[in-house]
Amino acid sequence: MVSTEMPRDQLRGRETKQRVLEAAAAEFAEYGVAGARINRIAETAKASKERIYAWFGDKDALFDHVMQTGLDRLAHAVPIDADLVEYTVRLHNYFVNDHTAQRVTMWAWLHDVDTLGSFSEGRVEGYRHKLEVIRDAQHRGIVDNTWNPEELLALLLAVASNWERAPAELRSLGSAEFAGDLEACSASVREAARRLVEPRS
C-alpha cells in the first residue's frame, strides 16, 4: 500500500513557508513595503533570509505574493455577486474583523500606484472577474448603468473601508458609540452603497 503522508521535510518546508507569509503580512501591515525588512520577517518566521529569497524573490515579489494570498482569501470569504450592496457590506465587515488585511491592502494602494503594471496577473484577474459581475448586473438592469464599472467598483471599495480609513482627527470627532457599533456602521455602508448601485429612475 502506497503511503499518502507528506514526507517530514516537505511538511516542515510547507509550515515554514506559511510562517514566512504570515510574518511578511504582519511586517507589511506595520511598515509598508518601503519600511519592511526581510531580516525581521526571517527572525519572526524562524527562517533563513536565503530560503525566503529562494522561495519568493526580492521584497517586492514577496509583497506581491502576500497580496495575492490575501486577495485569494478575501475572494473566498467574500465572493462578489450581483447584489453589490450586500457585497459591499460583507466586505466592510471582513475588513473590520481583519485589520491586517485592510492595512496591507492600503499599503498596496500606496505602493502599487508608483509601479502600475508590475504586479502579478493573478491580482489583476480577480478584479476582471469583479468587473464582469458588475457589467452583467448593469446589463440586467439591477445596477445603475450610468457608472463606468471600474469607477463604481472603486467607489464601493472606498465605501466598504470608509470609516476604518477615515482620518484620525475625524474619527476623534465622531460618535464613539457609532465607531464601536458594527451594526450602525454596516447600515451606513449599506445605505451609501444602495445610493450608488440603485438604478436611476
Identify the CATH number of the domain in which residue 128 sits: 1.10.357.10
* Percentage with pLDDT > 90 across the chain: 50
pLDDT of residue 1: 46
Domain extent at residue 30: 7-57
Q: Is residue 1 assigned to a domain?
A: no
Q: Worst-scoring range by mean pLDDT, 75-89, 130-144, 160-174?
A: 160-174
Task: Give me the helix-helix angle, 49-56 and 38-45, nearest 10°.
Answer: 110
Number of domains in the chain: 2
45: domain CATH number is: 1.10.10.60
pLDDT of residue 128: 93
Both 72 and 140 in one domain: the answer is yes
pLDDT of residue 116: 57
Q: pLDDT class for 40, splitting at 50, 70, 90?
A: very high
* Mean pLDDT (the chain, rounded): 85
Both 29 and 63 in one domain: the answer is no
pLDDT tens, position by position, 60-118: 889 888 888 888 888 899 999 999 999 999 999 998 888 777 777 777 777 776 665 56
Query: Where are any strands of DSSP class E within 48-162?
Result: none
pLDDT of residue 104: 77
* Percentage with pLDDT > 70 across the chain: 87
24 contact partners, CB below 8 Å, separation of at least 6: 36, 41, 45, 62, 63, 65, 66
Cα distance between residue 44 and residue 22, in whole Å: 9
Cα torsion 157, 93, 132, 198: sign? negative
Both 51 and 69 in one domain: the answer is no
Whole-angstrom distance between the N-terminal and C-terminal Cα of the chain?
68
Both 82 and 139 in one domain: the answer is yes
- Which of 40, 57, 74 is at the close of a domain? 57
Both 29 and 64 in one domain: the answer is no
Q: Is residue 2 assigned to a domain?
A: no
Q: Is residue 120 assigned to a domain?
A: yes
- Which of 19, 41, 57 is at the close of a domain? 57
Cα distance between residue 144 and residue 165, in whole Å: 26
Both 53 and 94 in one domain: the answer is no
Instruction: Assess whether pLDDT exceeds 70 at residue 11.
Output: no
